[in-house]
Amino acid sequence: MVVESIPKAVGFFYGLLAFAALAWLWYSGRFTRRRAMPFLVASAFFGFLVFAPVFPYQLQAVVLQDTAALGSPLPMAIGGLLAFIVLALVFGRIICGQICPAGAVQELMHLVPVKKRGSAESRVPVAVRAGVFVVFLAAGLGLSMNLLALIGLADFFNLTVVSVSFFVFFSIVLLSAVVYRPFCRYVCPYGALLAPAASRAAYRLRRTDACIGCRKCERACPTGAARPDDGLGECYLCGRCTEACPVDGALVYGRGR
Ligand code: SF4
Ligand code: SF4
C-alpha cells in the first residue's frame, strides 16, 4: 500500500512532531497508555502509507548506500538517524515506544488478549541482537545483502503478500501477540544502537522515596527493565509500569537516576 509519490520526509517530520508530543507527555507526568494509543495507530499508518519512519530499514539503506530506498540524500539520512540516537541519549527510547512503525505494529499486536509467553529479562535478547547486528553489518557491508528485506520488513509494509519474506515478518508480528516485541528485542539493528544510548539517558523512569517496594511495576514490565538496578536500555517507555504502580509519584519520568 506504500504510496511512492508521497515523500518519505513526511514520515520523518511526523516522527519529530510525535516525539515532541510524547516527550512532553512523559515530562509533564501526563503519559498514559491510553494517550499513547493514537500515536501507535498513526505510526503504524505511516509505516503502511510511506514506509517511514521505519528506523531499522533506514539504517539498512544507509549501510547499503541505497538512496532510492532512503528517499533522501545519504548525509541527510545519516543525520536523521544520528539525531534520533542523540534524542534517545536525552529522553530514552521514545521512538521505539510509539513512533517506529515496526515497533508500533508489534506493540498493538501485543494488546491481543492471549496468554503472554517469554521471559521478562534482557540479557539473552540483547546478546542475540548484538550477534544479529554483527551479521547485519557483515552482510550489508561485505556482501551488499539487504538482510531486513529478506526478513520481510519492506514487503510487510508494502503489503506484498505474494512474497515469502512478507510472511516472515508477518509471522514475527503474529508472534508479538504472545512474545513482547520479538523483532525489537532480538533483531533490530537500530535498536542495538539505541539501547546503549537509552541506558545513559538524562531523562528516565526512576523510583522516588514514595516507592513502597511492592514490585508491581516489575511484574508489569515485559522486558525486565523496571527492576531498580536496570539500566533501562531495554525500556520501551510503554507505560505498563507507571500504570501498575499504586502510589502516586513513586515511579516518575524525570532527570537523573
Ligand atoms: S527496536 Fe527497532 S524496530 Fe523496534 S521500535 Fe526501535 S527502531 Fe523500531
Ligand atoms: S514497563 Fe518496562 S519497558 Fe515499559 S515503561 Fe516500564 S520499565 Fe519501560
Task: Assess whether the C-beta atom of 157 lies below 6 angstroms from ligand 1.
Answer: no
Residue 184's Cα: distance from chain center in Å? 6
Minimal-distance CA residue to ligand 1 atom 4: 184
Ligand 2 atom closest to Cα of residue 221 = 1
Minimal-distance CA residue to ligand 2 atom 2: 221
**Confidence check: pLDDT of 1 > 80:** no
Tell how far the Cα of 177 is from the centroid of ligand 1, in angstroms.
16
Ligand 2 pocket (Cβ < 6 Å) reads 205, 220-221, 223, 225-226, 235-241
Tell how far the Cα of 16 is from the centroid of ligand 1, in angstroms.
15
Ligand nearest the Cα of residue 129 is: 1
Ligand nearest the Cα of residue 173 is: 1
pLDDT at 121: 80
CB–CB of 156/170 below 8 Å? yes
pLDDT at 111: 98
Task: Assess whether the C-beta atom of 191 lies below 6 angstroms from ligand 1.
Answer: yes
Question: pLDDT class for 188, splitting at 50, 70, 90?
Answer: very high
Distance CA 45, CA 125 (A): 27
What percentage of the chain reaches a pLDDT higher than 70? Answer: 100
Q: What is the pLDDT of residues 109-155, one digit of tens each?
A: 999 999 999 878 889 999 999 999 999 999 999 999 999 999 999 99
The domains of the chain are located at 9-202
Q: What is the mean pLDDT of the segment spanning 179-198? A: 98
pLDDT at 71: 86
Tell how far the Cα of 220 is from the centroid of ligand 2, in angstroms.
8
pLDDT at 118: 81
User: Exposure of 34 by Cβ count < 10 A (0-12 exposed, 13-18 middle, 19+ buried)?
Assistant: exposed
Q: What is the pLDDT of residues 35-94, one digit of tens each?
A: 999 999 999 999 999 999 999 999 999 999 999 899 889 999 999 999 999 999 999 999
